[in-house]
């Protein structure tokens, strides 16, 4: 964990360098993740959304658009949010969906708009000190009763640079603390990939609801 609060120029540097990492490797990343099966995660989000489909879903950190295309293919209205310009262009071209180009440090989200938010392998890039703000913005963007899915590489609450990208690696207890402080209610959590010993499951997935009044 950082020993002292990150200043605004340090946060700007974290965002710029992490986005540059993906921008420089956009085609390589798309090729390497195109066939990743996250159907378990998409199903976990969708089964907890109340009401009748189709749903309006924000793919938060949509990357090159793999999951955005899947969500749209299931009949939902999917909007992507992505800070890497190359990924945003790929996502628009591949999915035909609207994609907002925003980084996580400067979010501009509509209030109470979405039935669900799908944050697959994205929120771990938010420095811990900024996480309460970002989660609060996601909470506000959900309709009352709306659902947030997140999946992040887990750790022992360390954070910092990892091969050119900034990441924060929380365990379940710490992640619950952040989420409940942001007024979310836990619905379920699980580790991925399924069917392996815990030490071979690097991903922590969890599903949360914004309470209804």
Angle at which helices 8-24 and 85-95 cross, to 10°: 50
Q: Is 209 helix (H, G, I), strand (E, B) or coil?
A: strand
- Closest among 66, 96, 62, 94 to 80, alpha carbons compared: 62
Q: How does pLDDT run across 76-93, given as a tens digit for each residue?
A: 999 999 999 999 999 999
**Bridge partners for 203 per DSSP:** 153, 192
Q: Is residue 64 part of a domain?
A: yes
Q: Is residue 21 part of a domain?
A: yes
What average pLDDT does the segment 100-118 reach? 96
Q: Is residue 102 part of a domain?
A: yes
Q: How does pLDDT run across 134-192, given as a tens digit for each residue?
A: 999 999 999 999 999 999 999 999 999 999 999 999 999 999 999 999 999 999 999 99
CATH classification at residue 60: 3.40.50.150
Q: Is residue 60 part of a domain?
A: yes
pLDDT band at 209 (very low <50, low <70, confident <90, very high): very high
Predicted structure pTM score: 0.96
pLDDT band at 3 (very low <50, low <70, confident <90, very high): low
What are 140's two structure tokens? 């506000």
Residue range of the domain that includes 154: 8-209
What are 161's two structure tokens? 């640079």
Q: Is residue 1 part of a domain?
A: no
Burial class (CB in 10 A: 0-12, 13-18, 19+), 79: buried
Domains held by the chain: number: 1
Interstrand relation of 114-120 and 56-60 (parallel, antiparallel or unpaired): parallel
């Amino acid at each position: 964990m950082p020993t002292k609060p990150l200043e605004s120029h340090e946060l700007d540097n974290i965002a710029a360098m992490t986005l540059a990492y993906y921008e420089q490797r956009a085609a390589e990343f798309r090729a390497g993740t195109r066939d990743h099966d996250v159907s378990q995660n998409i199903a976990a989000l969708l089964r907890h959304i109340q009401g009748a489909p189709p749903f309006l879903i924000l793919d938060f950190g949509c990357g090159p658009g793999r999951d955005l295309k899947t969500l749209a293919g299931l009949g939902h209205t999917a909007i992507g949010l992505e800070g890497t310009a190359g990924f945003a262009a790929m996502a628009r071209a591949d999915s035909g969906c609207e994609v907002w180009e925003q980084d996580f440090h400067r979010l501009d989200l509509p209030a109470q708009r979405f039935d669900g938010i799908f944050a697959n392998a994205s929120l771990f890039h938010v420095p811990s000190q900024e996480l309460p703000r970002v989660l609060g913005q996601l909470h506000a963007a959900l309709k009352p009763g709306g659902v947030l899915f997140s999946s992040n590489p887990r750790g022992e609450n360390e954070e910092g640079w990892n091969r050119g990208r900034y990441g924060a690696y929380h365990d379940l207890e710490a992640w619950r603390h952040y989420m409940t402080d942001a007024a979310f209610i836990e619905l379920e959590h699980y580790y991925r990939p399924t069917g392996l010993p815990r030490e071979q499951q690097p991903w922590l997935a969890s599903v949360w609801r914004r309470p209804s009044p």
